[in-house]
């Protein structure tokens, strides 16, 4: 396991095991935060209410497999903001 800031370049050797490597990213922010970039980011409101509307809110997943499409869209939007020159390239 590793914990690090999202802005730090990091890496590891190739996974040589027969088990998948799993990653998860969690960012907790308050609704008044404004994300820079041309793409509105997706967010799941975990508590309270959003009076600001800076994010496109998504519904809580119904089960472990419910959010697959949402994850892909969230990644596309993040990459477009972080690497705008590659926005037209497929992932």
24-77 per-position pLDDT tens digit: 778 888 999 998 899 999 999 999 999 999 999 998 888 877 777 788 898 889
Structure-block tokens of residue 59: 């519904």
Q: How far is CA 28 from CA 25, 43, 63, 85, in A?
A: 10, 10, 21, 27
* Residue-range domain boundaries for the chain: 23-84
Q: Is the pLDDT of residue 91 over 60?
A: no
Tokens representing 56 are 């496109």
Residue with tokens 């404004």: 34
pTM attached to this predicted model: 0.66
pLDDT (average), residues 12-28: 85
């Amino acid at each position: 396991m590793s914990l690090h800031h999202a802005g730090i370049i990091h890496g590891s050797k190739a996974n040589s095991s027969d088990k998948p490597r799993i990653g998860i990213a969690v960012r907790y922010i308050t609704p008044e935060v404004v994300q820079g970039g041309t793409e509105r980011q997706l967010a799941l409101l975990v508590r309270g209410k959003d009076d600001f509307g800076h994010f496109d809110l998504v519904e809580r997943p119904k089960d472990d497999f419910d959010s697959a499409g949402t994850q892909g869209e969230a990644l596309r939007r993040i990459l477009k903001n972080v690497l705008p020159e590659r926005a037209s390239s497929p992932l």
